[in-house]
């Protein structure tokens, strides 16, 4: 094999590796975005509402 062949293989491997890292970055970014409050539609907001309802139920049970 010549130098040209080795360079072609190296570029192909780096391209695949870069694409893989880009996909991982995109996935992590979008999953982490769900953990930030955004005014109602994120998982974080849903959990806050659920925790508030559970706290209210505990208060009602404790009053009896």
Which range marks the domain in which residue 35 is found? 3-63
Residue entry with tokens 């930030």 = 36
Domains held by the chain: number: 1
The pLDDT tens digits of the residues spanning 3-58 come to 999 999 999 999 999 999 999 999 999 988 887 878 778 888 888 899 999 999 99
pLDDT at 61: 93
Tell me the residue length of the chain.
Answer: 64
pLDDT of residue 22: 97
């Amino acid at each position: 094999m010549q130098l040209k062949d080795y360079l072609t293989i190296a570029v192909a491997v780096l391209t695949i590796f870069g694409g893989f890292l880009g996909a991982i970055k995109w996935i992590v970014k979008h999953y982490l975005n769900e953990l930030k409050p955004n005014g109602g539609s994120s998982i974080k907001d849903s959990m806050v509402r659920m925790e508030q309802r559970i706290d209210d139920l505990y208060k009602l049970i404790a009053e009896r």
